Structure 1
Amino acid sequence: MACVTITNAQAQTPPAPKNYTCYRAEKSISIDGKLNERSWKKAAWTSSFVDIEGDKKPLPLQETRAKMLWDDHYLYIAAQIEEEHIWAYQDKKDQIVYLENDFEVFIDPDGDTENYYELEINAINNTFDLFLPKTYRKGGKAQLKWDIKGLKSAVSVEGTVNDAKGKDKRWFVEIAIPFESLATENVKPVIPADGSEWRINFSRVNWQHEVDATGRYSRKRNAETGKIIPEYNWVWSPQGIINMHYPEYWGKLLFRNEEAGKAR
Protein backbone atom coordinates (compact mmCIF):
# COMPACT_ATOMS: atom_id res chain seq x y z
CA MET A 1 0.00 0.00 0.00
CA ALA A 2 1.29 3.39 -0.90
CA CYS A 3 1.36 6.09 1.73
CA VAL A 4 -0.10 4.73 4.93
CA THR A 5 1.95 2.61 7.28
CA ILE A 6 -0.10 -0.45 8.22
CA THR A 7 2.32 -1.80 10.76
CA ASN A 8 5.37 -0.43 12.55
CA ALA A 9 6.86 -3.85 13.17
CA GLN A 10 10.24 -4.30 11.56
CA ALA A 11 11.14 -7.41 9.62
CA GLN A 12 13.45 -9.67 11.59
CA THR A 13 15.23 -10.91 8.49
CA PRO A 14 14.27 -8.82 5.45
CA PRO A 15 14.24 -10.69 2.16
CA ALA A 16 17.27 -10.22 -0.07
CA PRO A 17 16.52 -7.40 -2.55
CA LYS A 18 15.87 -8.42 -6.12
CA ASN A 19 17.99 -7.03 -8.95
CA TYR A 20 17.17 -5.75 -12.42
CA THR A 21 19.63 -4.69 -15.11
CA CYS A 22 18.23 -1.78 -17.12
CA TYR A 23 19.51 -1.50 -20.69
CA ARG A 24 19.26 1.42 -23.05
CA ALA A 25 16.43 1.88 -25.53
CA GLU A 26 17.74 1.92 -29.08
CA LYS A 27 15.26 4.67 -30.02
CA SER A 28 12.96 7.05 -28.20
CA ILE A 29 9.94 5.25 -26.75
CA SER A 30 6.44 6.36 -27.73
CA ILE A 31 4.33 6.35 -24.59
CA ASP A 32 1.06 4.82 -25.74
CA GLY A 33 0.60 1.85 -23.39
CA LYS A 34 1.22 -0.71 -26.16
CA LEU A 35 4.87 -1.76 -25.62
CA ASN A 36 5.34 -2.46 -29.31
CA GLU A 37 8.83 -0.98 -29.78
CA ARG A 38 11.63 -3.41 -30.51
CA SER A 39 13.48 -2.30 -27.37
CA TRP A 40 10.52 -3.27 -25.19
CA LYS A 41 10.34 -6.67 -26.85
CA LYS A 42 14.02 -7.24 -26.06
CA ALA A 43 13.87 -5.97 -22.48
CA ALA A 44 13.47 -8.68 -19.85
CA TRP A 45 10.46 -8.89 -17.57
CA THR A 46 11.00 -8.89 -13.85
CA SER A 47 10.04 -11.99 -11.93
CA SER A 48 6.33 -12.15 -11.14
CA PHE A 49 5.26 -10.07 -8.17
CA VAL A 50 4.82 -11.72 -4.77
CA ASP A 51 3.05 -10.77 -1.56
CA ILE A 52 4.61 -7.77 0.17
CA GLU A 53 5.51 -10.04 3.12
CA GLY A 54 7.25 -12.51 0.84
CA ASP A 55 7.11 -16.20 1.70
CA LYS A 56 4.99 -15.51 4.77
CA LYS A 57 1.92 -15.29 2.54
CA PRO A 58 0.55 -17.18 -0.50
CA LEU A 59 1.44 -16.13 -4.01
CA PRO A 60 -0.77 -13.44 -5.59
CA LEU A 61 -4.04 -14.48 -7.18
CA GLN A 62 -3.21 -12.63 -10.40
CA GLU A 63 0.14 -12.04 -12.09
CA THR A 64 2.00 -8.75 -12.29
CA ARG A 65 5.40 -8.09 -13.82
CA ALA A 66 7.40 -5.11 -15.03
CA LYS A 67 10.32 -4.16 -17.26
CA MET A 68 12.53 -1.10 -17.66
CA LEU A 69 14.66 0.80 -20.19
CA TRP A 70 16.52 4.10 -20.16
CA ASP A 71 18.06 6.75 -22.39
CA ASP A 72 19.77 10.08 -21.77
CA HIS A 73 16.57 11.70 -20.52
CA TYR A 74 14.09 9.13 -19.21
CA LEU A 75 13.63 6.05 -17.12
CA TYR A 76 11.01 3.97 -18.91
CA ILE A 77 8.80 1.59 -16.94
CA ALA A 78 6.23 -0.85 -18.25
CA ALA A 79 3.96 -3.19 -16.33
CA GLN A 80 1.60 -5.99 -17.28
CA ILE A 81 -1.23 -6.43 -14.80
CA GLU A 82 -3.49 -9.47 -15.05
CA GLU A 83 -6.97 -8.52 -13.88
CA GLU A 84 -10.31 -10.26 -14.33
CA HIS A 85 -12.25 -7.16 -13.32
CA ILE A 86 -10.68 -3.86 -14.36
CA TRP A 87 -12.21 -0.90 -12.60
CA ALA A 88 -11.18 2.65 -11.72
CA TYR A 89 -13.23 5.75 -11.02
CA GLN A 90 -10.73 8.24 -9.61
CA ASP A 91 -10.05 10.58 -12.50
CA LYS A 92 -8.62 13.71 -10.87
CA LYS A 93 -4.89 14.28 -10.57
CA ASP A 94 -3.53 13.47 -7.10
CA GLN A 95 -6.62 11.74 -5.82
CA ILE A 96 -5.58 8.95 -3.46
CA VAL A 97 -5.28 6.40 -6.23
CA TYR A 98 -4.50 3.43 -3.96
CA LEU A 99 -8.04 3.58 -2.55
CA GLU A 100 -8.81 1.68 -5.75
CA ASN A 101 -6.67 -0.86 -7.62
CA ASP A 102 -3.42 0.65 -8.86
CA PHE A 103 0.21 0.21 -9.89
CA GLU A 104 2.90 2.02 -7.88
CA VAL A 105 6.53 3.00 -8.40
CA PHE A 106 8.99 3.86 -5.61
CA ILE A 107 12.39 5.37 -6.51
CA ASP A 108 15.39 6.30 -4.37
CA PRO A 109 18.02 7.46 -6.90
CA ASP A 110 21.02 7.59 -4.56
CA GLY A 111 19.94 4.71 -2.34
CA ASP A 112 20.38 6.56 0.96
CA THR A 113 16.75 5.83 2.07
CA GLU A 114 15.96 9.56 2.05
CA ASN A 115 14.63 11.95 -0.60
CA TYR A 116 12.62 9.39 -2.49
CA TYR A 117 9.70 9.51 -4.87
CA GLU A 118 6.42 7.69 -5.37
CA LEU A 119 4.07 7.44 -8.33
CA GLU A 120 0.69 5.72 -8.45
CA ILE A 121 -1.38 5.10 -11.57
CA ASN A 122 -4.73 3.44 -12.19
CA ALA A 123 -6.41 1.76 -15.13
CA ILE A 124 -7.73 5.04 -16.53
CA ASN A 125 -4.26 6.62 -16.42
CA ASN A 126 -4.91 8.88 -13.46
CA THR A 127 -1.78 9.62 -11.44
CA PHE A 128 -0.84 10.52 -7.88
CA ASP A 129 2.77 11.45 -7.13
CA LEU A 130 4.63 12.60 -4.06
CA PHE A 131 8.06 13.27 -2.58
CA LEU A 132 9.29 12.15 0.85
CA PRO A 133 12.42 13.75 2.36
CA LYS A 134 12.59 10.86 4.84
CA THR A 135 10.49 7.88 5.81
CA TYR A 136 7.31 8.21 7.85
CA ARG A 137 8.86 6.33 10.76
CA LYS A 138 11.59 8.99 10.91
CA GLY A 139 9.07 11.82 10.91
CA GLY A 140 8.86 12.36 7.18
CA LYS A 141 5.83 14.12 5.73
CA ALA A 142 4.69 13.44 2.21
CA GLN A 143 4.86 16.46 -0.08
CA LEU A 144 1.72 15.90 -2.10
CA LYS A 145 2.02 19.13 -4.09
CA TRP A 146 5.25 17.91 -5.66
CA ASP A 147 4.82 16.69 -9.23
CA ILE A 148 6.94 14.70 -11.67
CA LYS A 149 7.41 17.45 -14.26
CA GLY A 150 7.26 16.14 -17.78
CA LEU A 151 5.89 12.74 -16.75
CA LYS A 152 4.49 10.70 -19.62
CA SER A 153 2.12 7.79 -18.99
CA ALA A 154 -0.39 5.71 -20.89
CA VAL A 155 -2.57 2.67 -20.27
CA SER A 156 -3.96 0.06 -22.64
CA VAL A 157 -6.59 -2.48 -21.67
CA GLU A 158 -7.40 -5.99 -22.85
CA GLY A 159 -11.00 -6.04 -21.77
CA THR A 160 -13.31 -3.33 -20.49
CA VAL A 161 -13.14 -0.77 -17.70
CA ASN A 162 -15.94 -0.41 -15.15
CA ASP A 163 -18.09 -3.03 -16.86
CA ALA A 164 -18.87 -5.96 -14.57
CA LYS A 165 -20.79 -8.01 -17.13
CA GLY A 166 -17.84 -10.10 -18.26
CA LYS A 167 -14.26 -10.97 -17.35
CA ASP A 168 -11.27 -8.97 -18.50
CA LYS A 169 -7.71 -10.12 -19.17
CA ARG A 170 -5.12 -7.49 -18.29
CA TRP A 171 -4.01 -3.89 -18.51
CA PHE A 172 -0.66 -2.41 -19.42
CA VAL A 173 1.02 0.66 -17.97
CA GLU A 174 3.78 2.56 -19.81
CA ILE A 175 5.65 5.38 -18.08
CA ALA A 176 8.49 7.76 -18.93
CA ILE A 177 10.00 9.59 -15.93
CA PRO A 178 12.44 12.42 -16.76
CA PHE A 179 15.60 12.08 -14.68
CA GLU A 180 15.67 15.86 -14.23
CA SER A 181 12.19 15.76 -12.67
CA LEU A 182 13.32 13.64 -9.71
CA ALA A 183 14.39 16.70 -7.79
CA THR A 184 13.12 19.44 -5.49
CA GLU A 185 14.30 22.91 -4.56
CA ASN A 186 16.72 21.30 -2.12
CA VAL A 187 17.50 18.01 -3.86
CA LYS A 188 19.39 17.86 -7.13
CA PRO A 189 18.52 15.21 -9.72
CA VAL A 190 20.69 12.12 -9.97
CA ILE A 191 21.51 11.41 -13.60
CA PRO A 192 22.50 7.76 -14.08
CA ALA A 193 25.51 6.56 -16.03
CA ASP A 194 26.79 3.12 -16.98
CA GLY A 195 27.12 1.17 -13.74
CA SER A 196 24.88 3.44 -11.64
CA GLU A 197 22.73 1.65 -9.07
CA TRP A 198 19.40 2.96 -7.77
CA ARG A 199 16.89 1.52 -5.33
CA ILE A 200 13.45 0.89 -6.80
CA ASN A 201 10.35 -1.13 -6.09
CA PHE A 202 6.91 -1.66 -7.54
CA SER A 203 3.67 -2.38 -5.77
CA ARG A 204 0.23 -3.39 -6.92
CA VAL A 205 -2.70 -2.63 -4.65
CA ASN A 206 -5.60 -4.97 -5.35
CA TRP A 207 -8.92 -4.85 -3.50
CA GLN A 208 -11.62 -7.47 -3.28
CA HIS A 209 -14.67 -5.90 -4.87
CA GLU A 210 -18.44 -6.00 -5.00
CA VAL A 211 -20.86 -4.67 -7.59
CA ASP A 212 -24.04 -2.77 -6.76
CA ALA A 213 -27.38 -2.88 -8.54
CA THR A 214 -26.27 -0.20 -11.00
CA GLY A 215 -23.18 -2.20 -12.00
CA ARG A 216 -20.73 0.03 -10.16
CA TYR A 217 -17.69 -1.56 -8.51
CA SER A 218 -16.62 -0.77 -4.95
CA ARG A 219 -14.31 -2.20 -2.33
CA LYS A 220 -15.82 -5.25 -0.68
CA ARG A 221 -17.03 -5.00 2.90
CA ASN A 222 -17.17 -7.65 5.58
CA ALA A 223 -20.77 -8.86 5.75
CA GLU A 224 -20.74 -8.93 9.57
CA THR A 225 -18.79 -5.80 10.49
CA GLY A 226 -19.42 -3.61 7.46
CA LYS A 227 -15.74 -2.74 7.35
CA ILE A 228 -13.81 -2.70 4.09
CA ILE A 229 -11.78 -5.89 3.65
CA PRO A 230 -8.04 -5.09 3.63
CA GLU A 231 -6.32 -4.91 0.28
CA TYR A 232 -3.74 -7.24 -1.19
CA ASN A 233 -0.27 -5.74 -1.61
CA TRP A 234 1.70 -7.47 -4.36
CA VAL A 235 5.25 -6.27 -4.99
CA TRP A 236 8.31 -6.99 -7.10
CA SER A 237 10.91 -7.15 -4.31
CA PRO A 238 9.25 -8.30 -1.06
CA GLN A 239 9.49 -6.05 1.98
CA GLY A 240 8.96 -8.69 4.65
CA ILE A 241 6.44 -6.37 6.31
CA ILE A 242 3.28 -4.58 5.17
CA ASN A 243 5.02 -1.27 4.64
CA MET A 244 6.53 0.00 1.38
CA HIS A 245 8.32 2.82 3.17
CA TYR A 246 11.45 0.90 4.04
CA PRO A 247 13.58 1.92 1.04
CA GLU A 248 16.44 -0.20 2.34
CA TYR A 249 14.35 -3.26 1.43
CA TRP A 250 13.62 -2.19 -2.15
CA GLY A 251 15.13 -3.87 -5.17
CA LYS A 252 18.30 -2.75 -6.94
CA LEU A 253 18.27 -1.20 -10.40
CA LEU A 254 21.56 -1.37 -12.33
CA PHE A 255 21.99 0.88 -15.39
CA ARG A 256 24.02 -0.45 -18.31
CA ASN A 257 25.01 1.36 -21.50
CA GLU A 258 24.37 -1.58 -23.80
CA GLU A 259 21.14 -1.58 -25.76
CA ALA A 260 18.49 -4.07 -24.75
CA GLY A 261 19.15 -7.40 -26.43
CA LYS A 262 22.77 -6.56 -27.28
CA ALA A 263 24.42 -7.10 -23.90
CA ARG A 264 27.42 -9.43 -23.94
Structure 2
Amino acid sequence: MEKYHCPRVARPLVLDGFISDPGWADVPWTNDFQDITGDPSLKPRFRTRAKMAWDDDYFYIAAEMEEPHVWGTITEQNEIMFNDNDFEVFIDPDGDSNNYYEFEMNALGTIWELSLPVPYSEGGKPVLGCNLPGLIRKVGVRGTLNDPSDTDDGWSVEIAFPWKELAQYNPGRSTPPTIGDMWKVNFSRVQWQHEVVDGAYVRIPPHGTDLCDGLNPEDQQHPEDNWVWSPQGVVNMHIPAHWGEVVFER
Protein backbone atom coordinates (compact mmCIF):
# COMPACT_ATOMS: atom_id res chain seq x y z
CA MET A 1 0.00 0.00 0.00
CA GLU A 2 1.34 3.42 -0.96
CA LYS A 3 1.51 6.36 1.44
CA TYR A 4 1.75 10.07 0.60
CA HIS A 5 2.47 13.09 2.79
CA CYS A 6 0.25 15.82 1.33
CA PRO A 7 1.59 19.35 1.92
CA ARG A 8 -0.47 22.45 2.49
CA VAL A 9 0.20 25.22 -0.04
CA ALA A 10 0.57 28.82 1.04
CA ARG A 11 -1.80 30.23 -1.59
CA PRO A 12 -4.41 28.86 -4.00
CA LEU A 13 -2.94 27.06 -6.99
CA VAL A 14 -3.77 28.38 -10.46
CA LEU A 15 -4.64 25.43 -12.67
CA ASP A 16 -3.93 25.39 -16.40
CA GLY A 17 -3.60 21.66 -17.08
CA PHE A 18 0.19 21.80 -17.38
CA ILE A 19 1.07 21.77 -13.64
CA SER A 20 2.89 25.05 -14.22
CA ASP A 21 1.95 27.05 -11.11
CA PRO A 22 5.14 27.65 -9.05
CA GLY A 23 3.25 26.44 -6.00
CA TRP A 24 3.56 22.88 -7.30
CA ALA A 25 7.36 23.03 -7.36
CA ASP A 26 7.91 21.80 -3.81
CA VAL A 27 5.05 19.29 -3.87
CA PRO A 28 6.45 15.76 -4.24
CA TRP A 29 5.49 13.31 -6.94
CA THR A 30 4.03 9.95 -6.07
CA ASN A 31 5.91 6.84 -7.06
CA ASP A 32 5.39 5.91 -10.69
CA PHE A 33 2.16 4.02 -11.28
CA GLN A 34 2.23 0.22 -11.46
CA ASP A 35 0.04 -2.41 -13.04
CA ILE A 36 -3.18 -2.73 -11.07
CA THR A 37 -2.21 -6.25 -9.99
CA GLY A 38 1.15 -5.16 -8.63
CA ASP A 39 2.87 -7.76 -10.81
CA PRO A 40 6.37 -6.32 -11.52
CA SER A 41 6.53 -8.24 -14.81
CA LEU A 42 3.65 -6.10 -16.11
CA LYS A 43 5.56 -2.83 -16.04
CA PRO A 44 3.55 0.01 -17.62
CA ARG A 45 4.61 1.03 -21.11
CA PHE A 46 4.24 4.73 -20.30
CA ARG A 47 5.07 6.65 -17.15
CA THR A 48 2.30 8.04 -14.93
CA ARG A 49 2.75 9.94 -11.67
CA ALA A 50 0.73 12.36 -9.55
CA LYS A 51 0.94 15.14 -6.98
CA MET A 52 -1.43 16.18 -4.18
CA ALA A 53 -1.73 19.39 -2.16
CA TRP A 54 -4.34 21.25 -0.14
CA ASP A 55 -5.44 24.59 1.28
CA ASP A 56 -8.53 25.92 3.07
CA ASP A 57 -10.80 25.45 0.06
CA TYR A 58 -9.53 22.62 -2.13
CA PHE A 59 -7.90 19.22 -2.33
CA TYR A 60 -5.62 19.58 -5.37
CA ILE A 61 -4.56 16.66 -7.56
CA ALA A 62 -2.33 16.75 -10.63
CA ALA A 63 -1.16 13.89 -12.83
CA GLU A 64 1.37 13.64 -15.64
CA MET A 65 1.02 10.90 -18.27
CA GLU A 66 3.47 9.94 -20.98
CA GLU A 67 1.51 9.14 -24.13
CA PRO A 68 2.67 9.02 -27.78
CA HIS A 69 -0.91 9.15 -29.07
CA VAL A 70 -3.24 11.46 -27.15
CA TRP A 71 -6.86 10.93 -28.16
CA GLY A 72 -10.38 11.16 -26.81
CA THR A 73 -13.90 10.75 -28.15
CA ILE A 74 -16.36 11.33 -25.31
CA THR A 75 -17.75 14.86 -25.09
CA GLU A 76 -20.90 14.41 -22.99
CA GLN A 77 -20.52 14.89 -19.24
CA ASN A 78 -21.26 11.78 -17.17
CA GLU A 79 -20.95 9.33 -20.02
CA ILE A 80 -19.03 6.15 -19.16
CA MET A 81 -15.55 7.64 -19.33
CA PHE A 82 -13.43 4.48 -19.22
CA ASN A 83 -14.50 3.74 -22.79
CA ASP A 84 -11.74 6.30 -23.59
CA ASN A 85 -8.23 6.49 -22.19
CA ASP A 86 -8.82 8.30 -18.93
CA PHE A 87 -7.48 9.36 -15.54
CA GLU A 88 -9.50 8.37 -12.48
CA VAL A 89 -9.55 9.49 -8.84
CA PHE A 90 -11.06 7.48 -5.98
CA ILE A 91 -11.63 9.13 -2.58
CA ASP A 92 -12.83 7.46 0.64
CA PRO A 93 -12.20 10.12 3.30
CA ASP A 94 -13.10 8.07 6.39
CA GLY A 95 -11.59 4.84 5.09
CA ASP A 96 -14.64 2.69 5.84
CA SER A 97 -14.89 1.38 2.23
CA ASN A 98 -18.45 2.77 2.00
CA ASN A 99 -19.90 5.96 0.54
CA TYR A 100 -16.89 6.79 -1.60
CA TYR A 101 -16.45 9.14 -4.55
CA GLU A 102 -15.06 8.50 -8.03
CA PHE A 103 -13.97 11.03 -10.67
CA GLU A 104 -12.93 10.24 -14.25
CA MET A 105 -11.65 12.52 -17.03
CA ASN A 106 -10.42 12.05 -20.58
CA ALA A 107 -7.99 14.11 -22.67
CA LEU A 108 -10.86 16.27 -23.96
CA GLY A 109 -11.56 17.40 -20.39
CA THR A 110 -14.89 15.57 -20.26
CA ILE A 111 -15.73 14.23 -16.81
CA TRP A 112 -17.82 11.58 -15.10
CA GLU A 113 -18.55 11.74 -11.38
CA LEU A 114 -20.22 8.98 -9.39
CA SER A 115 -20.26 7.44 -5.95
CA LEU A 116 -20.60 3.94 -4.50
CA PRO A 117 -22.57 3.34 -1.28
CA VAL A 118 -20.67 0.03 -1.02
CA PRO A 119 -18.24 -1.65 -3.44
CA TYR A 120 -19.57 -3.56 -6.46
CA SER A 121 -18.41 -6.84 -4.90
CA GLU A 122 -20.81 -6.23 -2.01
CA GLY A 123 -23.76 -5.54 -4.30
CA GLY A 124 -23.10 -1.83 -4.64
CA LYS A 125 -24.99 0.12 -7.28
CA PRO A 126 -23.34 3.35 -8.49
CA VAL A 127 -24.99 6.68 -7.84
CA LEU A 128 -24.46 8.49 -11.14
CA GLY A 129 -23.92 12.16 -11.82
CA CYS A 130 -22.55 13.11 -8.39
CA ASN A 131 -21.13 16.31 -9.80
CA LEU A 132 -19.46 18.53 -7.23
CA PRO A 133 -20.38 22.22 -7.58
CA GLY A 134 -17.28 24.38 -7.78
CA LEU A 135 -14.98 21.59 -8.92
CA ILE A 136 -12.18 22.87 -11.18
CA ARG A 137 -10.51 20.67 -13.79
CA LYS A 138 -8.00 21.39 -16.53
CA VAL A 139 -6.23 19.31 -19.18
CA GLY A 140 -2.90 20.02 -20.86
CA VAL A 141 -1.87 18.18 -24.03
CA ARG A 142 1.81 18.03 -24.91
CA GLY A 143 1.30 17.38 -28.60
CA THR A 144 -1.74 17.38 -30.87
CA LEU A 145 -5.00 15.87 -29.72
CA ASN A 146 -6.64 13.28 -32.02
CA ASP A 147 -3.98 13.53 -34.72
CA PRO A 148 -2.47 10.13 -35.63
CA SER A 149 -0.04 11.69 -38.09
CA ASP A 150 2.46 12.70 -35.40
CA THR A 151 3.89 11.52 -32.09
CA ASP A 152 2.91 13.27 -28.86
CA ASP A 153 4.70 13.61 -25.53
CA GLY A 154 1.65 13.10 -23.33
CA TRP A 155 -1.07 14.83 -21.37
CA SER A 156 -1.64 16.06 -17.86
CA VAL A 157 -4.57 16.92 -15.64
CA GLU A 158 -5.18 19.19 -12.67
CA ILE A 159 -8.25 19.00 -10.44
CA ALA A 160 -9.36 21.05 -7.46
CA PHE A 161 -11.97 19.25 -5.34
CA PRO A 162 -13.90 21.62 -3.03
CA TRP A 163 -13.78 20.51 0.58
CA LYS A 164 -17.32 21.68 1.23
CA GLU A 165 -18.56 19.22 -1.39
CA LEU A 166 -16.34 16.32 -0.31
CA ALA A 167 -17.72 16.66 3.24
CA GLN A 168 -20.72 14.51 2.30
CA TYR A 169 -18.34 11.54 1.99
CA ASN A 170 -16.71 12.25 5.36
CA PRO A 171 -19.54 12.34 7.94
CA GLY A 172 -18.55 13.05 11.50
CA ARG A 173 -15.01 14.11 10.61
CA SER A 174 -13.39 17.44 9.87
CA THR A 175 -13.53 18.63 6.25
CA PRO A 176 -11.14 20.26 5.41
CA PRO A 177 -9.02 17.74 7.29
CA THR A 178 -6.95 18.67 10.29
CA ILE A 179 -3.19 18.25 10.33
CA GLY A 180 -2.37 14.55 10.57
CA ASP A 181 -5.69 13.26 9.25
CA MET A 182 -5.48 10.36 6.81
CA TRP A 183 -7.77 9.73 3.82
CA LYS A 184 -7.88 6.69 1.55
CA VAL A 185 -7.20 7.72 -2.07
CA ASN A 186 -6.21 5.99 -5.27
CA PHE A 187 -5.68 6.81 -8.92
CA SER A 188 -6.13 4.75 -12.05
CA ARG A 189 -5.10 5.31 -15.63
CA VAL A 190 -7.04 3.32 -18.24
CA GLN A 191 -5.00 2.86 -21.41
CA TRP A 192 -6.70 1.21 -24.38
CA GLN A 193 -5.11 -0.48 -27.33
CA HIS A 194 -6.15 1.32 -30.51
CA GLU A 195 -5.94 1.31 -34.27
CA VAL A 196 -6.16 4.08 -36.85
CA VAL A 197 -9.17 3.96 -39.17
CA ASP A 198 -9.65 6.63 -41.86
CA GLY A 199 -7.21 8.93 -40.09
CA ALA A 200 -8.85 8.64 -36.67
CA TYR A 201 -8.05 6.74 -33.48
CA VAL A 202 -10.39 3.85 -32.74
CA ARG A 203 -10.10 1.83 -29.55
CA ILE A 204 -10.02 -1.94 -29.80
CA PRO A 205 -13.19 -2.90 -27.88
CA PRO A 206 -13.68 -5.65 -25.29
CA HIS A 207 -13.84 -9.18 -26.62
CA GLY A 208 -17.41 -10.05 -27.53
CA THR A 209 -19.03 -7.16 -25.68
CA ASP A 210 -18.68 -3.47 -24.92
CA LEU A 211 -18.09 -1.65 -21.68
CA CYS A 212 -21.32 0.27 -22.23
CA ASP A 213 -23.15 -2.99 -21.47
CA GLY A 214 -22.30 -2.55 -17.79
CA LEU A 215 -20.93 -0.02 -15.36
CA ASN A 216 -18.35 -2.21 -13.65
CA PRO A 217 -15.24 -2.51 -15.84
CA GLU A 218 -13.98 -5.43 -13.77
CA ASP A 219 -16.85 -7.57 -15.10
CA GLN A 220 -15.50 -7.34 -18.66
CA GLN A 221 -12.74 -9.01 -20.65
CA HIS A 222 -11.05 -6.23 -22.56
CA PRO A 223 -7.71 -5.29 -24.13
CA GLU A 224 -6.63 -2.35 -22.04
CA ASP A 225 -4.10 -1.62 -19.34
CA ASN A 226 -4.95 -0.41 -15.85
CA TRP A 227 -2.10 1.48 -14.19
CA VAL A 228 -2.55 2.65 -10.63
CA TRP A 229 -0.78 4.43 -7.80
CA SER A 230 -1.53 1.84 -5.10
CA PRO A 231 -1.80 -1.70 -6.56
CA GLN A 232 -4.99 -3.61 -5.87
CA GLY A 233 -3.63 -7.15 -6.21
CA VAL A 234 -6.39 -7.97 -8.71
CA VAL A 235 -8.02 -6.19 -11.65
CA ASN A 236 -10.54 -4.34 -9.49
CA MET A 237 -10.25 -0.72 -8.39
CA HIS A 238 -13.15 -1.10 -5.98
CA ILE A 239 -11.25 -2.49 -3.01
CA PRO A 240 -10.83 0.71 -0.94
CA ALA A 241 -8.84 -1.13 1.73
CA HIS A 242 -6.04 -1.44 -0.84
CA TRP A 243 -6.03 2.25 -1.78
CA GLY A 244 -3.19 4.52 -0.74
CA GLU A 245 -3.03 6.52 2.48
CA VAL A 246 -2.85 10.31 2.14
CA VAL A 247 -1.76 12.14 5.30
CA PHE A 248 -2.44 15.89 5.36
CA GLU A 249 0.48 17.93 6.64
CA ARG A 250 1.51 21.55 7.14
> Structure 2 length normalisation: TM-score?
0.90
Structure 1: runs of 5 or more not aligned:
1-16, 258-264
Conserved? CA contact 2:90–2:185, under 8 Å: yes
Q: Does 1:235 align with 2:205?
A: no
Q: Does 1:194 align with 2:179?
A: yes
Report how far residue 136 of structure 1 moved.
1.1
Which residues in structure 2 correspond to 1:154-173 (within 5 Å)? 154-173=138-157
Taking a change above 3 Å as real, the CA distance of residues 186 and 249 of structure 1, as seen in their structure-2 partners, is closer
* SS class of match (2:164): helix
Which residues in structure 2 correspond to 1:110-259 (within 5 Å)? 110-184=94-168, 190-191=174-175, 192-213=177-198, 215-220=199-204, 229-257=222-250
Report how far residue 148 of structure 1 moved.
1.6
Q: In the TM superposition, what whole-angstrom CA distance separates every residue of 1:68-127 from its partner, at most 9, and x where no partner exists?
A: 100011100000010000000101100111101000000000111111000001111110
Structure 2: runs of 5 or more not aligned:
211-221
**Partners of 2:35 and 2:234 in 1: CA distance:** 10
Number of residue pairs aligned between Structure 1 and Structure 2: 238
Conserved? CA contact 1:209–1:219, under 8 Å: yes
**Partners of 2:208 and 2:102 in 1: CA distance:** 31
* SS class of match (1:42): coil
List, as ranges, runs of 4+ consecutive aligned residues in structure 1 with deviation greater than 4 Å: 183-190, 225-229
Report how far residue 187 of structure 1 moved.
5.1
Taking a change above 3 Å as real, the CA distance of residues 89 and 44 of structure 1, as seen in their structure-2 partners, is same
Q: In the TM superposition, what whole-angstrom CA distance separates every residue of 1:2-31 from its partner, at most 9, and x where no partner exists?
A: xxxxxxxxxxxxxxx100000011111112
Report how far residue 197 of structure 1 moved.
0.1
Conserved? CA contact 1:109–1:190, under 8 Å: no
Taking a change above 3 Å as real, the CA distance of residues 185 and 32 of structure 1, as seen in their structure-2 partners, is closer
Report how far residue 146 of structure 1 moved.
1.6
Conserved? CA contact 1:76–1:176, under 8 Å: yes
Task: Give % identity.
Answer: 47
Taking a change above 3 Å as real, the CA distance of residues 117 and 84 of structure 1, as seen in their structure-2 partners, is same
Structure-1 residue corresponding to 2:65: 81
Q: Does 1:38 align with 2:22?
A: yes
Query: 33-42 vs 227-236, which deviates more?
Result: 227-236
Conserved? CA contact 2:92–2:169, under 8 Å: no
**Partners of 1:202 and 1:244 in 2: CA distance:** 9
Structure-2 residue corresponding to 1:7: none
**Partners of 1:132 and 1:250 in 2: CA distance:** 15
Report how far residue 59 of structure 1 moved.
0.5
Report how far residue 182 of structure 1 moved.
1.7
Structure 1: which amino acid aligns with 2:154? R
* SS class of match (1:24): coil
Q: Does 1:61 align with 2:61?
A: no
* SS class of match (1:106): strand
Which residues in structure 2 correspond to 1:12-31 (within 5 Å)? 17-31=1-15
Query: 89-98 vs 176-185, which deviates more?
Result: 176-185
Report how far residue 186 of structure 1 moved.
10
**Partners of 1:46 and 1:174 in 2: CA distance:** 15
Report how far residue 218 of structure 1 moved.
1.1
Q: In the TM superposition, what whole-angstrom CA distance separates every residue of 1:159-215 from its partner, at most 9, and x where no partner exists?
A: 0110000110011100000111124499577511100000000000000100102x1
